[in-house]
Amino acid sequence: MTVPVRSLEFADPREAADLAAFLGRLLRYDRAAAVRMQAGGNALAVFGRLPSFDVLAIRTARLAGTHEFDVTVSAGEFLESLHAEGPAAGSGALPAPVTGPPWTGVLPPRGGWHERPGLPGPVPLRTAVTAAVAEFRARDEALPEARRTRAERDLIGRDIWSRTVGGTGLPLRAVHAAQSLGFLRAAPDFPVALLASGPWLRLRTPFGSIAVRGPGGGLGTLAVTVGAG
């Protein structure tokens, strides 16, 4: 489907700046990243995948006008179109569509979400990520030279980041992804929540969400859906 390039105006220029920051962080992990963008009314949802974490990241924004579209585009091209400051602050353009990778056909459901108890606060969550990073470095440094390979490091990473947070079932890599993308802040009163819908889990903060699907919280066996998270 061909979607013409169209201009976008955001309800608040700060939301365009926040979205640009999100795209910039996403591109650090994948310079060829694509994002799936869904708009309905004045609400925009942008979905991206962090390949190293095997999670979906979701950032929302409010548009000044009414739009209806569902398209996959280059994250880099969309970032280049966004004006975070200056006379055109708060505007951007919807780039031409691209052929998306398989994950773009796999999104969390629109509804059916309910809050799951047991999620620690933001400070313990960040502390857990810091401890996990330190453990990874220590175990990596302890590897004999002959075993210092990508495969060995991947095994260590899977062991550490597949651990769940308390009894929630949320893999630690989802928390790491949230912190890496700037979604998770260290303030004790920073609101975080864990939501569930069917096999999906979603770590939600005011700055964005991280979604994973079981078993194991990965994305490899997802069924195709077309809903927004």
User: Could you give the number of structural domains in the chain?
Assistant: 2
Per residue in 58-96, pLDDT tens?
999 999 989 999 999 999 999 999 987 777 889 999 999
Q: Model-level pTM?
A: 0.87
Same domain, 11 and 98: yes
Per residue in 86-121, pLDDT tens?
778 899 999 999 998 999 998 999 889 999 999 999
Sign of CA dihedral 144, 149, 151, 155: positive
* Beta-strand relationship, 55-74 and 6-9: unpaired
Query: What's the pLDDT at 62?
Result: 96
Same domain, 23 and 89: yes
In this structure, is residue 32 part of a structural domain?
yes
In this structure, is residue 52 part of a structural domain?
yes
Query: What's the pLDDT at 228?
Result: 30
Map tokens 């975080």 to a residue: 192
- Domain extent, residue 152, equals 117-189
In this structure, is residue 201 part of a structural domain?
no
Tell me which residues of the chain have a pLDDT lower than 50: 1-3, 216-217, 220-229
Query: What's the pLDDT at 19?
Result: 95
Q: Tokens in use for 30? A: 């994948």
Residues 6+ apart with CB under 8 A from 154: none
Angle between helices 172-180 and 150-161 (to 10 degrees): 100
